[in-house]
Structure 1
Amino acid sequence: MAYKAEWNGGRRIVANRWYPSSKTCSDCGAVKAKLPLRVRTYICDSCGLVLDRDVNAARNLAALAREATTAGSGPVAGRGADHKTRPGGPVAMKRQPGPAQADKTGTVPPQGGTYRSVARAH
């Protein structure tokens, strides 16, 4: 999705994994403590708004995107991150294209090694 947005001159905004888009009233902003998935109609206890649950969530996500584009980064985080990555962890390396070398194909020992260990067991 990211490259499609880039190709078309758009911007991809990812809401925090725990953002309560379904539990928040898109009219007054009140947040419900619980809203089971089986409840398909959102009814606000504060202002009385009655709306399809998914439409309510879509309105909240649209408002979040507007806020993010007008106020810088806004309260969005990348793909459900709830804490920062600790420094000093493993560094991602880009794989180079081309065929793999015979002795670097994975974690399974070479076939000869497997055969020898089976032959010794008998």
Structure 2
Amino acid sequence: MADRWYPSSKTCSGCGTVKTKLALSEREYHCQACGLVLNRDLNAARNLAALAAEFDTAGSGPVAGRGADHKTPPARLVAAKRQPGTASAGQTGTVPPQGGTTNRVLARAH
């Protein structure tokens, strides 16, 4: 990806000379150094294509793969289905498994 301020329109796609000023109303690029006359947008497209070609090295360089600039983080824990009553130790607010007993006294109604 080109930097926001990369001078793709101001740079000659023929010789690489960069103009200091280029009005938006100028729709044709005229290079004073080599004499190239070209549609402004086509000139910019050629410059961006050349920039991309510098980094297209089939899996190496600063934009390897899909533009990643860092390694993929190591795998994290994968969610797994838990069976009822198999809560982690020390976890509060859990219900005991079916058939389990609780430590409470049942009062008998008279």
Q: TM-score category by the smaller chain?
A: 0.5 to 0.7
Aligned to 1:64: 51
Aligned to 2:28: 41
Q: Among all aligned residue pairs of Structure 1 and Structure 2, give the percentage whose two residues are the same amino acid.
A: 68
Q: Which amino acid aligns with 1:51?
A: L
| CA distances 1:12-44 after superposition (whole Å, capped 9, x unpaired) | xx1101100000000000000010100000000
Deviation, structure 1 residue 65: 0.4
Q: Which amino acid aligns with 2:56?
A: T
| Larger radius of gyration between Structure 1 and Structure 2 | 2
The residue correspondences of 1:76-115 to structure 2 (distance < 5 A) are none
Deviation, structure 1 residue 69: 1.4
Aligned to 1:73: 62
Q: Distance in 2 between matches of 1:36 and 1:50?
A: 16
* Structure of greater relative contact order (alpha carbons < 8 Å, 6+ residues apart): 1
Q: Secondary structure at the match of 1:42?
A: strand
* Runs of 4+ displaced beyond 6 Å: none
Deviation, structure 1 residue 73: 2.4
| CA distances 1:56-107 after superposition (whole Å, capped 9, x unpaired) | 0000000000001137227xxx9xxxxxxxxxxxxxxxxxxxxxxxxxxxxx
Q: Secondary structure at the match of 1:45?
A: coil
Q: Secondary structure at the match of 1:57?
A: helix
Match of 1:25 among 2, 8, 12: 12
Q: Secondary structure at the match of 1:51?
A: strand
Q: Secondary structure at the match of 1:33?
A: coil
RMSD: 1.8
Q: Which amino acid aligns with 2:3?
A: N
How many residues end up aligned between the 2 structures?
Answer: 62
Q: Distance in 2 between matches of 1:27 and 1:66?
A: 15
